[in-house]
Amino acid sequence: MTTNDTALTLSGRVVNWPGGPATLELRTSTAVLARGTVSETGDVNLVLPDASTMSSTLMQVDPSTFGNCTSTLVYSDLQARWRNFKGVGVYRNGTSLGSVGRGYGLTRFDQAKPGDYLVRWMYVDRPLNVVGTYSCAGHKETVDLRFKPGWNAYLQEYTTNYSASGGYYEIRTHSGSDATARWGFQSAQGAGQ
């Protein structure tokens, strides 16, 4: 996978692809921002949208969006605008099949182990650092993100065993390499990634 300013492409092979060609769509709730392909054998190719496409979709950083959670997050620039993507939609003949995303070790959230992680993608319009913690009823997240303008991949890494912790888990969200991640498919019916 490449996520930088000169080659904004997501690529690789989906390890559990059920077969057949499909279309990838990177979407907001109201618009398709980019289309790509999944080949018959699961090869992913998606060129991420450029700054002109992303500009109208960005939201201002808002520290108050955590609802009933407790937050100590500090943002280096409250004027920054961003948009987060967890995965990419998969469609065949206009019907949603599910989504593809990248991760390591994780096959189900309720079986997370320390070191398992998910890859997320963030687009920001200016340099932005986000550091601190937030805690909710089911989890605590420690955050150390260093975003450059444009596309950024970041990791949500599990630091506790979800099953052994009785449904409470801790996550470390941080900038870093996703070199050990693999592409996985999640069906619209919720079958494993």
Q: Let me know if 6 is exposed, middle or buried by CB neighbors in 10 A (0-12, 13-18, 19+).
A: exposed
DSSP letter assigned to residue 48: P
For 17-53, the pLDDT digits (tens) are 999 999 999 999 889 999 999 999 999 999 999 999 9
- Average pLDDT in the 101-114 region? 80
Cα 126–Cα 8–Cα 152 angle in degrees, nearest 5: 40
pTM for the model stands at 0.87
Would you say residue 11 has pLDDT above 60?
yes
- Average pLDDT in the 104-117 region? 80
Q: Let me know if 162 is exposed, middle or buried by CB neighbors in 10 A (0-12, 13-18, 19+).
A: buried
Q: What is the pLDDT of residue 2?
A: 42
DSSP letter assigned to residue 110: G
Range with the poorest average pLDDT among 37-41, 109-113, 119-123, 189-193:
189-193
Selected residue with higher pLDDT from 39 and 114:
39
- The Cα–Cα gap between 132 and 52 comes to 31
Cα 68–Cα 160–Cα 140 angle in degrees, nearest 5: 15
- Average pLDDT in the 42-70 region? 90
Q: What is the pLDDT of residue 23?
A: 97
CA distances from 168 to 71, 82, 132, 139, 162 (A): 17, 28, 19, 5, 6
Buried b (16+ CB within 10 A) or exposed e, 58-76: eeebeeeeeeeeebebebe
How many CB atoms lie under 10 A from the CB of residue 192? 12
Would you say residue 165 has pLDDT above 80?
no
- The Cα–Cα gap between 55 and 29 comes to 15
